[in-house]
């Protein structure tokens, strides 16, 4: 399976990309010495040597851009409340490519993924569980909220996100 990093990958002359990540087993990855990167002094992974399928990554990035341009009403409402550090100074990105998935919202400092689920997710709970397990193995915490809850009680959703972010191990 091809792999993409959380940040936009950088391609080196060797044809290998570097992107901060954890291994699929959840252990920190160390980049090759050629790249001169590895674990930080805090023991966090700074970069991982990964294979890069540029066509697949570019396809996902293009799809993520389209999804940012046409958010669901629930995504738009949540984005109004979390953008620009409005939720306790936390910086969120939306519709971001993480490995082979596009996540709705991502906070790097809290390593937190927030998914806003529409009706389609009621019929694909197994697929969502596999996706959550994969993201959790990368060291990310995943929160899921149904569209109806986001639109009905946004403050409860924001409270849950903030609590999860405070509990997450932060990068320094």
Give the pLDDT confidence of 95-136 residue by residue, as tens digits.
999 888 899 999 999 999 999 988 766 667 788 889 999 999
Predicted confidence band of residue 29 (pLDDT cuts 50, 70, 90): very low
pLDDT at 80 > cutoff 60: yes
Between 124 and 42, residue with greater pLDDT = 124
pLDDT at 99: 86
Three-state secondary structure string covering the chain = CCCCCCCCCEECCCCCEEECCECCCCCECCCCHHHCCCECCCCCECCEEECCCHHHHHHHHHHHHHHHHCCCHHHHHHHHHHHHHCECCECEEEEEEECCEEEEEEECCCCEEEEEECHHHHCCHHHHHHHHHHHHHCCCEEEEEEHHHHHHCHHHHHHHHHHHHHHCCCCC
Predicted confidence band of residue 168 (pLDDT cuts 50, 70, 90): confident
Q: What is the mean pLDDT of the chain?
A: 75
pLDDT at 36: 36
CATH 3.40.960.10 corresponds to the domain 54-167: yes
pLDDT at 165: 93
pLDDT tens, residue by residue, 136-146 = 999 999 999 99
Predicted confidence band of residue 50 (pLDDT cuts 50, 70, 90): very low
pLDDT at 156: 96
Domain ranges of the chain: 1-52, 54-167
């Amino acid at each position: 399976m091809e792999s993409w990093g959380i940040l936009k990958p950088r391609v080196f002359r060797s044809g290998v990309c570097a992107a901060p990540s954890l291994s699929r087993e959840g252990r920190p990855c160390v980049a090759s010495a050629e790249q001169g990167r590895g674990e930080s002094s805090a023991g966090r992974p700074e970069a991982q040597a990964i294979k890069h399928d540029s066509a697949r990554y570019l396809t996902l990035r293009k799809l993520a851009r389209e999804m940012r341009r046409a958010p669901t009403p629930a995504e738009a409402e949540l984005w109004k409340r979390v953008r620009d550090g409005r939720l306790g100074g936390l910086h969120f990105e939306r519709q971001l490519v993480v490995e082979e998935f596009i996540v709705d919202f991502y906070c790097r400092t809290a390593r937190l993924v927030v998914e806003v689920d529409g009706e389609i997710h009621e019929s694909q709970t197994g697929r969502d569980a596999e996706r959550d397990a994969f993201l959790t193995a990368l060291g990310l915490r995943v929160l899921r909220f149904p569209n109806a809850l986001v639109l009905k009680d946004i403050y409860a959703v924001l409270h849950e996100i903030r609590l999860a972010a405070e509990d997450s191990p932060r990068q320094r």
